[in-house]
A = this chain, B = another copy of it.
Amino acid sequence: MRRHFSLAATVLTAALALASLLTLLACSASPAPSGVVSSDPLPPVEWAIAIHGGAGTIPRDIEPQRRAAYAAALRAALHLGADALAAGEPALDVVEKVVRSLEDDPLFNAGRGAVYTHEGHHELDAALMDGRDLSAGAVASVTNVKNPISLARLVMERTPHVLLVGPGAEAFAAEMGVVRVPQEYFDTEHRYRAWQRVLEEAKKQDDKDTVGCVVRDVHGDLAAATSTGGLTDKRFGRVGDVPIVGAGTYADNRTCAVSATGQGEEFIRHAVAHTISSRMAYLGESVGDAARAVIHGVLKPGDGGVISVDAAGHVALVFSSQGMYRGAADSSGRFEIGIWEEMER
C-alpha cells in the first residue's frame, strides 16, 4: 500500500498545483479588482493635452471657409497648450490659458461668441479642477466677466468655496478686479442669427457647444477646464453640466482629467466625468475604455462627447454626436485635430 499512497500523494500534489493554477486563472479572468488601472499598450509620454470646442450636429457640408476657420482655431489653441507644456508649465496654468484663448475666440460658445438667452442676454458657466488635490472652482450664470474660467480659478484659490452663481459671483468678480465687460462684448452676428432661427422656428435648440481642455503636465499632474455660454434661448437661470464638478468637469491625478460637451442635463444625471474616473478606479478600466463605456454604453446616441487624459498621458476623445471639434497633442510628436470621425495632422 505504501506505493499506492506514494503515487496518490504525487497525484494529489500535482492536482493541488493544478488547483492553484486554476484559482489564479479563474480570478484573473474575473473583472479587475479595485485600484488596479489596466495598462494601456502605448508607452507613457512626458506631457499630453486634449481640447474640445463642442460636440453636436456638425454638417459635413459646412462651407470650406468656416471649416478652415475652426481648424485654424483648434490648431492655435492646441499649439498654445502644447508649447506651454513643453516649456514645463503646470497643468492648471495650461488648462486655464487654453480655455481663456477659446473663450476669446468668437467662433466658440464660451466667452466672446456665447449664445443668446431667451431674453437676448448672455449667461456664462465655467469650471476647472486640479487633479493633485481635487481642489476646484466654478461659476455659473455670470454676465459681465470677460473670462469666466479665470474667475473660476479665483473661486478655487481665493475662497473656501467651489461654486459661486449669479449676481453674487459678479460681486466677487468686482472685488477681485477681474476684467469685466458690457454684455455687448459677447454679441456675435453668428449666434444672434442662430437665436433668431430658434425663436422663429420655435424648435428645441440642440446646440451643444462648449470649450474644454485636459492636460497631463511634465510633473505628472492632471487638470481639467470647461467653459460655455450654455444653450441658445435658455431661460430661468438654467445651468448645465459645465460648472458641476463630476458632471462636465473632473480631475484626479489617480485616474484622469475629463472635460465634457453635450446634453448637459444627461451629463449631470449620469455624473459623466466622475463615472469615467470611478470606472478607472474601481473597475481598472483604461481611460479609453471608461470613456467609451459612458459615452456609448450609458448615454444615448447623440448626447455628446468627452475628452480625457490619464496619468500616463493617454488621451481619449470620444463622442456619439455627428461631430466634435477637438484636438490632441503630446510629447511624442502627436499633434492632430478633428471635427468628424477622422483626425488630421
Question: B-contacting residues of A (Cβ < 8 Å)?
Answer: 3-4, 7-8, 11-12, 15-16, 18-20, 22-23, 26-27, 30-31, 33-34, 123, 134-136, 140-141, 159-169, 171-172, 204, 235-240, 244-247, 250, 264-265, 268-271, 274-275, 278-279, 282-283
**Chain B CB within 10 Å, residue with most, of A22, A31, A164:** A31
Task: Please tell me if the beta carbons of B8 and A19 are within 8 angstroms of each other in the complex.
Answer: no
Task: Please tell me if the beta carbons of A167 and B167 are within 8 angstroms of each other in the complex.
Answer: yes
Task: Please tell me if the beta carbons of A168 and B235 are within 8 angstroms of each other in the complex.
Answer: yes
Residues of chain B within 8 A (CB-CB) of A30 are 27, 30, 33
Measured in the bound complex, the distance between the Cα atoms of B259 and A85 in whole Å is: 40
Instruction: Choose among B8, B166, B204, B240 the residue that contacts A11 (Cβ–Cβ < 8 A).
Output: B8
Given contacts A245-B247, A275-B278, 17 further A-B contacts (CB under 8 A): A11-B12, A15-B19, A19-B19, A22-B23, A31-B33, A34-B282, A161-B240, A163-B240, A163-B268, A164-B237, A164-B238, A165-B237, A166-B168, A166-B237, A171-B236, A278-B282, A279-B282
Show 12 residue pairs from A and B whose CB-CB distance is below 8 angstroms, ordered by the A residue: A4-B7, A11-B15, A18-B19, A19-B22, A30-B33, A34-B282, A140-B239, A141-B165, A159-B238, A245-B268, A245-B269, A274-B278
- Closest CB-CB distance, A229 to chain B, in whole Å? 15
Residues of chain B within 8 A (CB-CB) of A282 are 34, 278-279, 282-283
Residues of chain B within 8 A (CB-CB) of A18 are 15-16, 19
Which residue of the partner chain B has the closest CB to A123? B168
Measured in the bound complex, the distance between the Cα atoms of B278 and A278 in whole Å is: 7
